Structures are given as C-alpha cells and as structure tokens.
Amino acid sequence: MKNALGAVDTVLLLGGRSEIGLEIVRLLVGLGASRVVLAVRGGFDPPELGGAEVHVVPFDALDVQGHGAVFAKAAELVGDLDVVISAFGVLGSQAGYDADPAAAAEAVAVNYGAHVSVGLHAARVLREQGHGTLVVLSSVAGARVRKANFVYGSAKAGLDGFAQGLGDALHGSGAKVLIVRPGFVIGRMTKGLTPAPMSSTPRQVAVATVGALREGRSSVWVPRALGPAFGLLRLLPRPLWRRLPR
C-alpha cells in the first residue's frame, strides 16, 4: 500500500538488471518507497537502494508458466504492489535475426509474448488490490517500424498496442497502466551503436517516468518532443519512410 503521505511504498521490478528499471526504482525510493522486489534471471547481487528493503526473486521471461509464482512471491514478501515495472527485453540486430530466424522468434517471445504474460498477471493482482500502476517500457521503435531492426520494432509495436488495450480494460478498477516510449537510450543495451537524434540516458527516462506516475498519466514520450515528431512521421509516405537513414 502507499504510505501515510500517499507516496509509492512497494515496487516490483521485472528485469532486475535493467538500467532504466533500476533508475526508476532509485527515484521512487528517494520519494518514499521502502520495499523493493527485483525479479531477475540467474544469480544476482542486488545494488544498495537507498536503505530500502530489497528482495530478489528468480524470474525467467520465457518461463511463462512460472510468472504467476513470481507475483505470488512478491506479494508474500512485501504485500500489495504499488508499482510493477515491466523492464526486461533484448535488442539484437536485424542482420543477426536475418541469419537466425529462431533467434528472432525467441527475441519476439521475450519482447512481446512474455510482457503479455506478466502484464495479465499484474492486471489481475492490481485489479484485486483496487490500486497500483503497471509501468510498461515500450519504445519509439514501435511507433512506426523501421527496416533497420523490424523484428525488434514489430515486437515493441505489439507490446505498445497490448499495453494500451490493457489500460483501457483496467479503467475504473483503480489499477492503471503507464506506457513509457523512449527514443534511443544511451546505455548498456545500445553500447557500440551510434546515438540517434533526441537520445536520452536511463536517468532521463526514469525522471520522465516518475513524473508521469506522479501526474497519473497513461503514457509518456522521452524526450517529450518525440510524441509530436512521430505524429508527423506516421504520415510520411512509405517510399520516403524506407529511405530514412538506418
């Protein structure tokens, strides 16, 4: 439950190694969150999070049969969940996916299918609580899929649509969905790639996310200028869209 001052008290981060996810958690702890659950695959030495009580539980995105147990364990450890952050994923390269379609299918299973599973589990829990927000890390890559990495972009497009529908389904229940759409994020996942225009850092994405949470918004673009920019880019004829730099 939220604390006596109305601030977030408990957080579940699915993808406990996520740079963006951990930055969001740090900011929430700074604002009053006191209990955190990091769901992560494999052995993990959790970071110090501002004196908050930190628990680690095993989580494998592809083990969809085990997702329900992750939520049950988190609730057992910290009680009601104020914020659930769905922050796991893989990037990969289009050239790699072209060469290995099986790897492409697995990446889509992680970036889309697994998020559907945890999203529905989160919705059930938050609906039963009557409060809480699911934060879904989408991407500008899903706003209009580009040839540069259309496997990744198509999964993000599916995820974004799913999150929008889930948010509508939860309307009036007390539970909410916040969709975060960052552009190119300079971090571990994109190491070695040339930053795109209007890039951001994990910290900047986290600041925008926490601001949107506090405002009760349903979506946020990071940086904010990407929203109107892609409103125009969606209208670009396909022959011109195909000619955009990779």
Q: Average pLDDT for consecutive 10-residue bins of the chain (246 residues)?
A: 65 96 96 96 87 95 98 97 97 95 97 98 97 96 89 96 98 97 85 78 96 96 87 78 70
**CATH number assigned to the domain covering 10-242:** 3.40.50.720
pLDDT at residue 208, as a whole number:
96
Is the pTM here over 0.95, yes or no? no
pLDDT at residue 53, as a whole number:
96
Distances in whole angstroms, Cα of residue 84 to Cα of each of 77, 143, 179? 14, 23, 12
pLDDT at residue 238, as a whole number:
79
Tell me which amino acid residue 92 is: G
pLDDT at residue 36, as a whole number:
97
- Alpha-carbon distance of 23 to 33, in angstroms, equals 13
Task: Give the helix ranges, DSSP H, for the chain.
Answer: 19-30, 67-78, 94-99, 101-108, 114-129, 150-170, 202-215, 226-233, 238-242
* Contacts of range 162-170, beta carbons closer than 8 Å, 24 or more positions apart: 162/112, 162/115, 162/116, 162/119, 163/119, 163/134, 163/136, 163/138, 166/119, 166/120, 166/123, 166/134, 167/218, 169/123, 170/123, 170/126, 170/127
User: Among the options 59, 152, 162, 221, which is catalytic?
Assistant: 152
pLDDT at residue 45, as a whole number:
86
- Alpha-carbon distance of 114 to 125, in angstroms, equals 17
Tell me whether residue 97 is one of the annotated catalytic residues.
no
Q: Which residues contact 241 (CB under 8 A, 6 or more apart)?
A: 144, 146, 233
pLDDT at residue 44, as a whole number:
81
pLDDT at residue 245, as a whole number:
65
